[in-house]
Amino acid sequence: MRVWDIEPKYLCRPHLLGEHRELHAVWKILTVNNGVGGYAKHPETLRWNGRLKALFSYHDRIVAEMKNRGYKHNTPLDKKLAKGKEKQDKFVNTLEEQKEILKNKKCDCFNI
């Protein structure tokens, strides 16, 4: 499980769509499941706890990029649940480390 902090325009197709799925999984764990079960204790999930405004905002940017590439989006998040910090300030990997991880995956990220 991972939610990147990379601007969505730099993500290749598989990572962009995967990012959307993972973000929804984290959102569900922290809102519907109240932080219980499955990946609730995963570091990636924990870093978003108390930062649902930031996660909501990142979702909006992912959706905008998906639409820019011609994808339809039918899974909005409930804005009423977007509480907490507006900016993500907790990371599993730094932004630079995330960029290196993606570059080493030999995908089309950053070559869009």
Domain ranges of the chain: 8-103
Contact between residue 3 and residue 24 where contact means Cβ atoms under 8 Å apart: no
Q: Are 9 and 62 in contact (CB under 8 A)?
A: no
Contacts 24+ apart (CB under 8 A), 101-108: 102/4, 102/6, 102/11, 102/15, 107/12, 107/14, 107/15, 108/12, 108/13
Residue 112: the pLDDT is: 62
How many Cβ atoms from other residues are within 10 Å of residue 55's Cβ?
25
Any idea of the CA torsion for 101, 104, 110, 112, to the nearest 10 degrees?
A: -130
Whole-model pTM: value is: 0.94
Place of tokens 């984290």: 26
Tell me the average confidence (pLDDT) per consecutive run of 10 residues in the chain, 112 residues long.
94 97 96 89 96 98 98 97 97 95 93 73
Could you tell me the two tokens for 40?
């609730």
